[in-house]
Structure 1
Amino acid sequence: MTMKKLNYRLVIFLLATLFGIAFTIPSFIGKQPRVNLGLDLQGGMYLVLGVKTDEAIKNQIKTIASTIKYISQKKELFIDNLKIHGDKITFELIDKDDMKKMDEELKNIKGIKVQKQVKNGSVYYTISLTPQEIQRTKENAVKIAVQTIRSRLDAFGLAEPSVTRQGKDKIVVELPGIKTQKEKENVKKLISTAAHLELYLVDEEHRATTPAEAKKYGDILLPDKNNPKRMWLLKTPPVLDGSMITDATVGFTQKTNQPAIFFTLNSQGAQIFGDVTGKNVGKRLAIVVDNKVYSAPTIQERIGGGSGQITVGSPEEAHVLAIALRSGSLPAPVVLLEQRSVGASLGADSIRQSMIALISGFVIVVIFMAWYYGLAGIIADIALVTNLFLIIAIMAIFGATLTLPGMAGIVLTVGMAVDANVIINERIRELIRAGKPIKAAIEGGYKNAMSAILDANITTLIAAIALFAYGTGTIKGFAITMAIGILASMLTAILGTHGIWEYLLASGKKITPKHFGMKA
Structure 2
Amino acid sequence: MRSRVTYRLIVFILALVFGIFFSIPSFTDSQNGKKVSLGLDLQGGLYMLLSVQTDAALISKIKSIASAIKYDTDKNDILVDRLKVDESGISIALLDSDDIKKLDGILSKISGIEIQKDELNYRILLTPQEKIDTAKYAVDQAVETIRNRLDQFGLAEPTVIKQGEDKILVELPGIKNAADEQRAMDLIAKSAHLQLMAVDEKRQDMAQTMNEDEAAAYGDLLLSDARNPRYKYLVNEIPILDGSMLVDAKVAFDNQTNMPIINFTLNAQGAKIFGDFTGANVGKRLAIVLDNRVYSAPSINERIGGGSGQISGGFSVEEARDVAIALRSGALIAPVNLEEKRSIGPSLGQQSIDQSMVALSVGAILVLIFMVMVYGLAGVLANIALVVNIVLLIAVMALFGATLTLPGMAGILLTIGMAVDANVIINERIRELLKEGHNIHTCIQKGYQNAMSAIVDSNLTTLITSAALYAYGTGPVKGFAVTMSIGIVASMLTAILGTHGMFEFLSRKIEKGSSVLWFGYRIKRG
Question: What is the Cα deviation at residue 366 of structure 1?
Answer: 0.6
Q: Which position in structure 2 is the counterpart of 1:476?
A: 478
Superposition map of 1:228-377 within 5 A: 228-315=229-316, 316-377=318-379
Instruction: Give the CA deviation at 1:167.
Output: 2.3
- Contact 2:227/2:313 (8 A) holds in 1: no
Deviates more, 1:128-137 or 1:509-518: 509-518
Q: 1:518 aligns with which of 517, 521, 524?
A: 521
Counterpart Cα distance in 2 of 1:285 and 1:301:
12
Distance 2:335 2:324 in 1: 18
Instruction: Kindly provide the CA deviation profile for residues 174-196 of structure 1, in whole angstroms up to 9, marking residues without a partner as x.
Output: 22221122111111111110100
Match in the other structure for 1:197: 194
The residue type equivalent to 2:191 in the other structure is A
Counting aligned pairs with the same residue, the percent is 58
**CA offsets, 1:87-130, max 9 Å, x none?**
3122134444444443333333232233333x2xx3x3322222
- Call closer, same or farther: CA 1:496–1:224 in 2, change over 3 Å: same
Change (3 A) 1:506 1:194: farther
For residues 134 and 33 of structure 2, the distance between their equivalents in structure 1, rounded to whole angstroms, comes to 41
Write the distance in 2 (CA, Å) between the matches of 1:458 and 1:327: 40
Amino acid in structure 1 at the alignment position of 2:481: A
1:175 aligns with 2:172: yes
Unaligned runs of 5+ in 1: none
- Which letter does structure 1 place at the counterpart of 2:225? D
Consecutive unaligned residues in structure 2, runs of 5 or more: none
- Whichever residue aligns with residue 196 of structure 1, its letter is H
The code of the aligned residue for 2:522 comes to K
Letter in 1 for 2:4: K
Q: How many residue pairs end up in the alignment?
A: 514
1:444-496 alpha-carbon deviations (Å, 9 max, x no partner): 33233223222222222222222222222222222211111111112212222
- The TM-score normalised by the length of structure 2 is 0.92
Deviates more, 1:464-473 or 1:436-445: 436-445
Which residue, out of 416, 419, 422, partners 1:417? 419
Q: Deviations over 1:277-322 (max 9, x none)?
A: 2222222222111112222222232222222222223313222212
Cα distance 1:336–1:516, how it changes in 2: closer, same or farther (>3 A)?
same
What is the distance in 2 between the residues matched to 1:128 and 1:169?
23
Q: 1:400 aligns with which of 399, 402, 405?
A: 402
Secondary structure of 2:33's partner? Answer: coil
**SS in structure 2 of the partner of residue 374 of structure 1:** helix
Task: Indicate if the aligned counterparts of 1:81 and 1:90 stay in contact, CA closer than 8 A.
Answer: yes
Contact 2:143 2:162 in 1 (8 A): yes
Q: Are the counterparts in 2 of residues 166 and 472 from structure 1 also a CA contact under 8 Å?
A: no
- CA deviation after TM superposition for structure 1 residue 237, in Å: 1.1
CA RMSD of aligned residues (A): 2.2
| Residue 162 (1) aligns with residue 164 (2) | no
**Cα deviation, residue 393, structure 1:** 0.4
Question: 2:137 aligned with 1:140, yes or no?
Answer: yes
Aligned partners of 1:271 and 1:150: how far apart in 2? 31
Decide whether aligned partners of structure 1 residues 149 and 432 sit closer, same or farther in structure 2, where only a CA change above 3 A counts: same
Letter in 1 for 2:181: K
Structure 2: distance between partners of 1:439 and 1:107: 81
Q: Is the 8 A contact 2:371 2:380 kept in 1?
A: yes
Q: Provide, for residues 228-257 of structure 1, a one-character-per-residue CA deviation record: whole Å limited to 9, x for no partner.
A: 333332212111101111222223434454
User: What letter is aligned with 1:416?
Assistant: M
Superposed CA offset, 1:57-93 (max 9, x none): 1111111111111122223333331111213122134
**Alpha-carbon offset, residue 512 of structure 1:** 5.5
SS of 1:260 mapped into structure 2: strand
Change (3 A) 1:109 1:509: farther
- Amino acid of the residue matched to residue 495 of structure 2? A
Task: Give the structure 2 partner of residue 187 of structure 1.
Answer: 184
Match among 454, 457, 469 for residue 455 of structure 1: 457
Question: Partner residue of 2:448?
Answer: 446
Amino acid at match of 1:301: E
AA at the equivalent of 1:308: G
CA-to-partner distance for each residue in 1:305-343, whole Å, 9 max, x for gaps?
222222223313222212111221112111112222221
Following TM superposition, by how much is the alpha carbon of 1:275 offset from its aligned partner in structure 2, in angstroms?
1.2
Q: Which amino acid aligns with 2:186?
A: K
Match 1:497 to one of 493, 496, 499: 499
For the residue of structure 2 that corresponds to 1:416, the secondary structure is: helix
Rounded Cα–Cα distance in structure 2 between residues aligned with 1:108 and 1:427:
73
